[in-house]
Amino acid sequence: MPELPEVETTVLLLRKKTLNKVFVCVWGEKKNNLSKKLKGKRIEKITRHGKGIFFHLSSKEILFIHLRMTGHLLYGKWERKGKEWLSEEKIMQHPKNGFLRYIFFLSNGKQLALSDQRKFATINLISRKEKEDYLSRIGPDPLEIKKEDFFRILKERRGRIKSLLMNQQFISGIGNIYASEILFKAKIRPERNADSLKQKEMERLYLNMKTILRKGLSLQGDSTSDFRLLDGRKGGYQEKHLVYNRKNLPCPVCKKKITKTILGGRGTYFCPKFQK
């Protein structure tokens, strides 16, 4: 699932390509009325909170996109040939980029497409009030939250720290990959209870949460699974994993073998010696 670095990378690229463009029409794999609703509306601003993308339109409405498990956005040109949409760009024909569910036609002659193999992505046209209601149900953004606020909500919660980091009502934007990486960097075992953390450990957790997410962003996200950039290329963080997807490989600090376990139904990677 795309996490904060992948979604923020997408938003930064979208701002360069689609700001002030007008929606001409929309194709959907299934019948929908988005084309009628979006036609003639200009993209004035694009923002992100957690894993959600918000296109603020000239109509004062908001196009909300959540990429969920396997969704990613692509920017280019496609032509309909029979029942398929094909692009002249070879990279867009890669299997990971070929599961087109929506295509948004823009006023500059380009298209914005959603590729989503498992079909879980959400696309809705919402009001400002509906956006506020959505944000009220999820946690603060980890790149924006202040230290004292992070400590406060951490102390109010119980449960295993890795599961808590992935709980979008606690903090919004962290998933399985970055939770494992953050906890390694903070020297904290993923199965530790949140209320067992000492002050120094909470300090390390807060600092390394921001450090790891910013590193993921600087490398334009993680493409271990389906995530791709707008031009179809992979991000780079999967080449820099500390523990994630490195079972039985040496810990980058102590050389002990990385362990994989199942925690909360998710594969969890950690160093049994370095992390306490």
Strands (E) located in the chain? 23-28, 43-49, 52-57, 62-66, 71-76, 79-81, 84-86, 100-106, 111-116, 122-126, 259-263, 266-270
190 catalytic, yes or no?
no
* DSSP for residue 42: B
The one catalytic residue in 17, 51, 185, 204 is 51
148 catalytic, yes or no?
no
3 catalytic, yes or no?
yes
- Is the alpha carbon torsion for 245, 248, 252, 253 positive or negative? positive
Q: Which residue in 100, 129, 120, 124 sits closest to 37, CA to CA?
A: 124
In the structure encoding, which two tokens stand for residue 41, read together? 């509306």
- Give me the long-range contacts of 97-105 (CB less than 8 A, separation at least 24): 97/72, 97/228, 97/232, 99/70, 100/29, 101/28, 101/29, 101/71, 102/26, 102/27, 102/28, 102/29, 102/34, 103/26, 103/27, 103/78, 104/23, 104/26, 104/38, 105/23, 105/24, 105/25, 105/26, 105/27
The one catalytic residue in 3, 6, 8, 61 is 3
266 catalytic, yes or no?
yes
The one catalytic residue in 37, 192, 260, 266 is 266
Element holding 35 (H helix, E strand): helix 34-38
CB atoms within 10 A of CB 29: 14
Show which residues are catalytic.
2-3, 51, 266
